Amino acid sequence: MLELDRVAKRFGAAMACQDVTFTVRHGEVVGLAGAGSTTVLRLAAGLLPPDDGEVLRSGERVGYLPATGGLYPRMRVLDQLVFLARLHGADVNEALRAAEIWAARFGLRDRRADRVRQLSAAEQARLRLAAVFTPGPDVLVLDEPFTGLDEATANLLVDVLRERAGAGASVLVTCDDLDVVERLCDRACVLHNGRVVAQDAVGRLLAAARLELVVDAPHAPGGWAAALPGVTVLAVHDGLVRLALDAGTDDQAVLAAALRTGPVRGFTRIRPRLADLFGDVVAAG
C-alpha cells in the first residue's frame, strides 16, 4: 500500500505541493494529473523527503519510472536489467531470470547483447519499462509512462499494469489521456497548483465532466447556440463554434439545432484531459 498524508514540498520560496492526501491500496491503479504531479510522484517513490506530512509504503520494492532518462547508454540491455534487479536486492539467479522474462515481454529478446545506445528510441522506451518491472516491485510509481509509446506498446503496458495490480501491487501513474485512464485506473486524483482538488472513481469523475463539441455550421447566424439550454459557447473562429455541454445535456439536440440553420460540415466531440476535470468536478460538487 502507498499512502500520502498531508504531504507538502517546497523548493525555496515556491510551494510545489501542499496538503496532499490520498491512498493507493493493494491491487489498485490510481491515476494522477495536474500541476505538481511529478513532485508528488517523487515523494511517493521516496526520491524526495516531504517538508510536511508523511509518506507510508508497505512494499519492500518500489519501481519508479521517471518521465525521461534512467538508462545507462554504455551497458548492454540484459546487463542493465540484471543490474537494476540486483540494486533492489535480487540474487544473481533471480535477477537474470527476471531480466530474461521482461526483455522478452517487451520485445527485446534479440537485443539482449546490444548496448543501450544502439537501440532505437522506441526500443529504449520499452527497455525503460522492462527495467521498472524486472525487480518485481510491489509498489509502482510511473511518471507519464505512455508518452511517446506506439499503440502496441501502450496496450501492452496497460495489460502489464493491470496484471501487476491483480497480483497485489499498488500502482500510481501520471497520465492525462482519459482514454488510457478509463481503461487502466480504478480511481483518479486531480491536482491544481499542487493541491488535491478532486479524487474519486474514474467513472464518477467522468460523469461529472462536461462534454465539449466543435461544430462547423457555415450558414448558421451568429449566436445560434447561445440560447440552447445547458450549452455554453466557448469560442467562435472561422465559422467553427466550440461549445461546452453541461452534464446530462443531449449533444443530439445541439446537432438538431445546428441542422436547422443549414448544412453541418463537422460535428466533433472533444474529451477533456484528466487535469481539466477539476473545474467541472468542483463546479458539480
Domain match, 197 and 223 both: no
Is the model more confident about 209 or about 176?
176
The dihedral of CA 154, 160, 166, 168: what is its sign? negative
Q: Map grid coordinates 501491487 to a residue.
A: 169
Q: What is the CATH number of the domain that holds 185?
A: 3.40.50.300
List, in sequence order, every beta strand (DSSP E) within 155-230: 170-174, 187-192, 195-201, 211-216
Q: Would you place residue 278 in the very low, low, confident or very high pLDDT band (cuts 50, 70, 90)?
A: low
Domain match, 35 and 153 both: yes
Q: How far apart are CA 10 and CA 190, in angstroms?
A: 19
Segment 199-218 shows an average pLDDT of 82
Q: How far apart are CA 90 and CA 82, in angstroms?
A: 9
Q: What total number of domains does the chain contain? A: 3
Q: How far apart are CA 225 and CA 231, in angstroms?
A: 7
Burial of 233 (0-12, 13-18, 19+ CB in 10 A): middle
Segment 219-244 shows an average pLDDT of 90
For 120-178, what is each residue's pLDDT tens digit? Answer: 999 999 999 999 999 999 999 999 999 989 999 999 999 999 999 999 999 999 987 77
27 within a domain of the structure (yes/no): yes
Q: Which residues, including other chains, have CB under 8 Å from residue 258's CB and lie 6 or more apart?
A: 215, 217, 220, 224, 225, 264, 267
216 within a domain of the structure (yes/no): yes
Burial of 13 (0-12, 13-18, 19+ CB in 10 A): exposed
Q: What average pLDDT is seen over the chain?
A: 90
pLDDT at residue 282 tops 50: no
Beta bridge partners of 3: 23, 56
Domain match, 148 and 49 both: yes
Contact between residue 150 and residue 162 where contact means Cβ atoms under 8 Å apart: no
pLDDT at residue 106 tops 80: yes
Alpha helices (runs of H) in 89-147, residue ranges in sequence order:
92-105, 121-133
Q: Would you place residue 239 in the very low, low, confident or very high pLDDT band (cuts 50, 70, 90)?
A: confident
C-alpha Rg value of the chain to the nearest Å: 23
Q: Would you place residue 275 in the very low, low, confident or very high pLDDT band (cuts 50, 70, 90)?
A: low
174 within a domain of the structure (yes/no): yes
**Left if phi > 0, otherwise alpha if psi is -120 to 50, otherwise beta: which for 69?**
left
pLDDT at residue 233 tops 50: yes
Instruction: Give the model's pLDDT for residue 149.
Output: 93
Domain match, 111 and 154 both: no
**What are 140's three cell numbers?**
509502482
Write down which residue in 106, 127, 148 finishes a domain.
Answer: 127
**What are 68's three cell numbers?**
525521461
93 within a domain of the structure (yes/no): yes
Segment 172-190 shows an average pLDDT of 88
Q: Most distant CA pair in the chain: distance in Å? A: 73
Instruction: Give the model's pLDDT for residue 198.
Output: 84
The order of strands in the sheet holding 266-270 is 231-237, 240-245, 211-216, 266-270
Q: Would you place residue 76 in the very low, low, confident or very high pLDDT band (cuts 50, 70, 90)?
A: very high
Instruction: Give the model's pLDDT for residue 177.
Output: 79
pLDDT at residue 11 tops 90: yes
Q: How far apart are CA 22 and CA 83, in angstroms?
A: 32
Q: How far apart are CA 231 and CA 193, in angstroms?
A: 28
Instruction: Give the model's pLDDT for residue 43.
Output: 96
Write down which residue in 127, 147, 162 finishes a domain.
Answer: 127
65 within a domain of the structure (yes/no): no
Q: How far apart are CA 88 and CA 108, in angstroms?
A: 22
Q: How far apart are the first and last CA of the chain?
A: 29
Domain match, 169 and 44 both: yes
For 21-49, what is each residue's pLDDT tens digit? Answer: 999 999 999 999 888 999 999 999 999 99
